[in-house]
């Protein structure tokens, strides 16, 4: 057997399906086998592989043993002359496997080779070729010198920026997303080190292959798309710790004691600097607009109070500015938050609605206060006017600074071209019409550049780049049924538009995949799964939980009559502090594809005690709950399932 392909999957069902479709095409004419090792996914990946790819050798783990161990499970029973470790968030070209086999056959010194990786926007990924992360290389990377001098042979060794991306060269390290390995070299070097749970195993294996006397090549004669599932996690604190700790394991294993100690020190400095910067950035980003609102509101109230005091001769006690005004501001900002004034894109209507609601609440409370605490109804109303002006002005400024359109409805509309045959193109149009995506322009482009434009088409692929400019297109969807993976990649690289999103629609599937990351919201169009993701619905759900849990705790003696009353009180308190929610998904497959919700006490099937709760029923109920979320649904589940509030969760 010539080739064994090993794919380790964890909760990326749709990307795995697209990857396997491309692997099947690339396997044409090659004697080989395909392994999928699933690390206990809950998104239906195992079921999908069994139903759609029965020829694939599936290993379904009942726990998550980590990336290295999962790969080794398949490697131990593989029988190919070559083995390929492939990420599920990739798309290979039709010639990828044959090109790599031909190269390895003609280069007997090659223990492994990698290919040119491009991301979901068609951009070259520098991790396609890497140098060994020695202490010096790590220092240049951490200090930023490698970014400042990427092509320097001294400072640019981490990504070997001085080597041309379109020329074959010997390298030190390959990306774990695509490692094409000679089985003979793997037998000598050993399997993946299972001390690496995730990240770092590709560096370790590459190093051991070279230590076994083989060369490692970067061979850009073919390319693949890598959606880079980790890209969104690189800004997370968890990623920083996991990735750099893997580097420390590598250093302790392969470097001298002094070098390993130096490397470990550098890595620890990097970890805490990156983690601190990530936390600081998040705090600043989240608080910038609310803090600006508060400062502007306070400054305006201060000026208004002094001006009115001089004109009217009315004395206002210090408590007005120290207590009353901060409470007014807190109320206005909370009301604006509840109305979505801090959601992007900014809408003036949300800010104004929040100010109006907040002002009404202030006036209601004002009327109930004792006389000595009623400072000035006039200042409250004038202050509300200033709050509306200040809030709207700040949002205008924020939009101007970020160079974004102030008209959110227009900016949310997508201008899309679908490249494919008319029949498949219309199928994609129907899919888009059933999904949350809003379009301002939708056209179908024929995949043959020689084809004369006929009815139903906006043009042919020969003029695709011009059409992108003329029609102001911001998204291209390629039909996988009508175009090869290689053709799709060629178009992505040729157009090379920085503001353009690219997606691929696999044949006969109800989803469209694309963009730069497998975890970025909006990159995966699945019919109807939108409602629960809306910030407004998240706020409504949290407000419902907070209000109802507060009322239930006030009436807590009634909870003691529920089965496991003590547990019920504890659960309701957990909802009050935001640790859990009253209603969440039923346990079962498909959860990884749904919007994230906190763990729930009840689930949508609780009111229907007569229904048989099999996996398919739970899956469908979860989809309906996420798709059509309404507060009244939560209330209905709570009213009918309140006896189960003492459930262990």
d(CA 172, CA 529): 43
Whole-number pLDDT of residue 34: 97
Task: Name the range with the highest mean pLDDT among 11-15, 22-26, 204-208, 589-593.
Answer: 22-26
The secondary element (H helix, E strand) that includes residue 32 is strand 32-39
User: How much is the average pLDDT of 271-294?
Assistant: 80
pLDDT averaged over every residue in the chain = 83
Residues, the chain, total? 649
248 pLDDT tier (thresholds 50, 70, 90)? low
d(CA 48, CA 346): 40
User: How much is the average pLDDT of 292-311?
Assistant: 89
Whole-number pLDDT of residue 230: 40
23 pLDDT tier (thresholds 50, 70, 90)? very high
Could you report the per-residue pLDDT of 133-178, keeping only the tens digit for each?
776 776 777 667 888 888 888 888 878 888 999 999 999 889 889 9
d(CA 639, CA 563): 15
Could you report the per-residue pLDDT of 30-68, keeping only the tens digit for each?
999 999 999 988 777 898 999 999 999 999 998 888 888
pLDDT above 90 coverage of the chain, percent: 35
Which stretch of 43-52, 358-367, 540-549, 584-593 has the lowest confidence by average pLDDT? Answer: 584-593
User: How much is the average pLDDT of 70-74?
Assistant: 94
Of the two residues 415 and 214, the one the predictor is more confident about is 214
342 pLDDT tier (thresholds 50, 70, 90)? confident
d(CA 641, CA 200): 48
The pTM for the full model equals: 0.69
Burial profile 53-82: b = 16 or more Cβ within 10 angstroms, e = fewer = beebbbbbbeebbbbbbbbbbbbeebebbb
User: How much is the average pLDDT of 268-278?
Assistant: 70
Tokens 């009244």, residue located: 632
Q: Is the pLDDT of residue 184 over 90?
A: yes
Of the two residues 386 and 263, the one the predictor is more confident about is 386
Joined tokens for residue 293: 């609102």
Q: Is the pLDDT of residue 410 over 50?
A: no
Joined tokens for residue 67: 């990336």
Whole-number pLDDT of residue 537: 81
Q: Which of 138, 145, 141, 150 is nearest to 247 (CA)?
A: 138
Q: Is the pLDDT of residue 235 over 60?
A: no
Please list the residues that pair with 441 across neighbouring strands.
415
Of the two residues 472 and 143, the one the predictor is more confident about is 472
Q: Which of 177, 173, 180 is nearest to 158 (CA)?
A: 173
Whole-number pLDDT of residue 515: 56
Whole-number pLDDT of residue 434: 67
d(CA 594, CA 610): 26
22 pLDDT tier (thresholds 50, 70, 90)? very high
Please list the residues that pair with 459 across neighbouring strands.
445
Identify whether the C-beta of residue 620 lies closer than 8 Å to the C-beta of residue 588: no
**Structural domains of the chain, with CATH:** 3-129+165-228 (3.90.550.10), 413-526 (3.40.50.720), 531-644 (no CATH)
Whole-number pLDDT of residue 593: 61
**First-to-final CA distance of the chain:** 49
Could you report the per-residue pLDDT of 289-299, keeping only the tens digit for each?
899 999 999 99
- DSSP three-state, residue 537: helix
Joined tokens for residue 146: 């490698």
Whole-number pLDDT of residue 402: 59
Joined tokens for residue 72: 């080794």
Of the two residues 514 and 125, the one the predictor is more confident about is 125
528 pLDDT tier (thresholds 50, 70, 90)? very low
Joined tokens for residue 343: 């959601």
Burial class (CB in 10 A: 0-12, 13-18, 19+), 618: buried
User: How much is the average pLDDT of 498-520?
Assistant: 72
- DSSP three-state, residue 346: coil
Which stretch of 300-309, 380-389, 421-430, 602-611 has the lowest confidence by average pLDDT? Answer: 602-611
Identify whether the C-beta of residue 379 lies closer than 8 Å to the C-beta of residue 308: yes
Could you report the per-residue pLDDT of 256-269, keeping only the tens digit for each?
666 667 766 776 67
């Amino acid at each position: 057997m010539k080739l064994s392909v090993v794919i380790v999957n964890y909760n990326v069902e749709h990307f795995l399906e697209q990857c396997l479709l491309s692997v099947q095409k690339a396997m044409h004419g090659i004697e080989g086998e395909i392994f999928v090792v699933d690390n206990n996914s809950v998104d239906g990946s195992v079921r999908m592989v069994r139903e759609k790819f029965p020829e694939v050798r599936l290993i379904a783990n009942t726990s998550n043993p980590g990336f290295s161990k999962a790969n080794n499970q398949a490697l131990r029973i593989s029988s190919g002359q070559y083995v390929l470790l492939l990420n599920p968030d990739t798309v290979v070209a039709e010639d990828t496997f044959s090109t790599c086999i031909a190269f390895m056959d003609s280069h007997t010194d090659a223990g492994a080779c990698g290919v040119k990786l491009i991301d979901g926007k068609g951009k070259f990924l520098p991790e396609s070729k890497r140098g060994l992360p020695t202490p010096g290389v790590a220092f240049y990377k951490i200090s930023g010198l490698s970014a400042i001098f990427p092509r320097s042979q001294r400072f640019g060794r981490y990504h070997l920026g001085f080597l041309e991306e379109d020329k074959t060269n010997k390298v030190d390290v390959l990306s774990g997303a695509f490692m094409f390995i000679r089985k003979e070299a793997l037998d000598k070097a050993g399997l993946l080190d299972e001390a690496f749970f995730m990240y770092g195993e590709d560096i370790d294996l590459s190093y051991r292959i070279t230590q076994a006397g083989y060369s490692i090549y970067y061979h850009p004669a073919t390319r693949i798309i890598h959606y880079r599932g980790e890209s969104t996690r690189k800004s997370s604190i968890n990623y920083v710790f996991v990735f750099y700790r893997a580097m420390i394991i590598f250093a302790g294993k392969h470097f001298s004691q002094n070098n390993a100690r130096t490397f470990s020190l550098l890595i620890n400095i990097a970890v805490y600097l990156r983690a601190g910067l990530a936390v600081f950035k998040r705090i600043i980003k989240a608080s910038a607009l609310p803090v600006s609102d508060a400062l502007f509101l306070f400054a305006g109230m201060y000026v208004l109070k002094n001006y009115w005091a001089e004109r009217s001769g009315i004395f206002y006690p210090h408590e007005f500015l120290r207590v009353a005004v901060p409470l007014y501001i807190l109320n206005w900002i909370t009301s604006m938050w509840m109305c979505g004034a801090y959601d992007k894109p900014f809408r003036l209507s949300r800010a104004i609605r929040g100010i109006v609601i907040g002002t009404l609440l202030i006036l209601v409370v004002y009327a109930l206060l004792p006389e000595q605490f009623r400072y000035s109804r006039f200042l409250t109303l004038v202050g509300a006017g200033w709050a509306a002006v200040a809030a709207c002005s700040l949002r205008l400024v924020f939009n101007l600074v970020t160079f974004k359109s102030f008209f959110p409805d227009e900016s949310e509309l997508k201008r899309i071209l679908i490249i494919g045959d008319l029949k498949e193109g219309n199928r994609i149009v129907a899919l888009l019409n059933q999904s949350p995506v809003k379009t301002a322009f939708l056209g179908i482009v024929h995949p043959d550049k020689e084809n004369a434009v006929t009815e139903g088409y906006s043009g042919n692929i020969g003029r695709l780049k011009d059409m992108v400019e003329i029609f102001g297109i911001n998204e291209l969807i390629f039909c996988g049924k009508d175009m090869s993976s290689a053709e799709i990649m060629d178009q992505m690289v040729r157009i090379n538009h920085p503001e353009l999103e690219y997606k691929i629609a696999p044949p006969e599937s109800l989803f469209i995949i694309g963009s730069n990351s497998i975890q970025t919201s909006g990159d995966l169009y699945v019919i109807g799964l939108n409602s629960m993701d809306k910030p407004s619905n998240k706020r409504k759900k949290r407000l419902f939980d907070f209000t109802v849990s507060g009322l239930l705790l006030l009436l807590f003696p009634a909870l003691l009559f529920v089965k496991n009353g003590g547990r019920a009180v504890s659960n309701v308190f957990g909802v009050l502090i935001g640790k859990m929610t009253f209603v969440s998904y039923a346990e079962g497959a498909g959860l990884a594809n749904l919007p994230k919700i906190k763990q729930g006490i009840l689930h949508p099937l609780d009111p229907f005690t007569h229904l048989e709760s099999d996996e398919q029923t739970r899956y469908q109920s979860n989809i309906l709950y996420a798709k059509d979320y309404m507060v009244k649904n939560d209330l209905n589940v709570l009213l009918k399932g309140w006896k189960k509030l003492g459930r262990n969760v």
